[in-house]
Structure 1
């Protein structure tokens, strides 16, 4: 995997940009005091899903103030900008500017197509936050401007793509696949056969669902999980740790294939990871 993650943090606002040549899945619990927005550009938006729903072009997503879980995919080759704001700030501005109309959108929607120029404005607002080297005195202004732009974008355009309301087939299967891969795969190597048995599905159905959500085959996804396991072991290990033994433990019998996969995903050889302090 090749890509970049940039982030800038402040108690009032966090901004993030993610670029990746492979599909990514992000899942976790929602901070009840935070509202997040995500805006993605890329050639494969049809592969992107937010809470199981398709993502149209020029869409803002993730802003629902009542959701309790984050579950979305970043499509291969995309650039995603994300902003995280205090919920109270956003709701206060929404109530002041548009009243119940805006509050209802924040409570009942999670994907909304917005005008292209507003999409660009929001993206640039997030990137400006990332590029602010010393913005301590500007944070209140930046936060208010971003929250205002968010609310304006939600309320000033009614073009909601109908496909955004169509859930991805087998969304629960994909969710459970990710959960099993991450939970069971941290203890021992897991195979597609084990997963299909645990998920009560066939290889063809599983493969189709994972490919549509992540742009990866189940085997590639599992391989990346195992590579992450190896990297964790090497980072925790000492110089005497045997790279080959760790690789074998996580299901990589071929030294040559393992080294190539590892370098493709992390940009360095296993021994280079082990040699770091």
Structure 2
């Protein structure tokens, strides 16, 4: 049982407030987190008789995100099989580990290496994500167009994440990811279509090694046109899901920045904008050729859009009419032709 006084002491969750679970004892909290945090050993309450934990977790493909807001407690963790990302929204987080203690203040993010046991004492609101070391290395290498075997990220040391580097804000980018977790938390398919887990890995890789990703001018680079042709062919032949930037990098052998520059120079838009235009053209043909055999919802998902409303919005921007108007015009077309022939 929880009481009203405890409910009012907790800071809002970073995401998932509407579907959150609440635990009034350390043991109940330990039982819950034990199923999703493999290295968890124990949870201890620091405020006797006044313990409260509110939490929400969400899996996007294979990536688990956990948001929690608590009164003060201590979590004992063994050696983690994965690295870990912690972003503290409010309150305090103190981490005791072999490499030295860490204090994580509000609006601060830390990337933890995966080789140590550690104890976390915290209160307030955080978001946590275990990081697959092999995956983030693969994403970083793909972003750089690097086909070598050497690691490009230094994941052996725990470090703070800079909130801003030049004109790029980590917190603003994370806010966009968190907004999607809140908007589509009950629709895992939508989050999968948005490649939200990949966006998170790309962002984290960028801020782990900003020297690799945030300072290069491509205006003088010569890019083989066939590499961009390969991406275009893949986009036009694939119908089940949007091609991600990481997949574009793997297909072409180019970094994301090279691809962005090449598409801007060749098509006057970003690769994602070009891909969306191709999908909208495909949708238009589907609706125009056989309007009685397809629904707008089916066409939206078939062409890689997360929702029919988003599809309709972009469709109208491109063609000057809604999908429904396109269907109606096609259904009227035979009668119009018949009238003209009479």
TM-score, normalising length: structure 2: 0.37
More helix by share: 1
- Structure with max Cα Rg: 2
Q: RCO higher in 1 or 2 (8 Å CA, sep ≥ 6)? A: 1
TM-score, normalised with respect to structure 1: 0.45
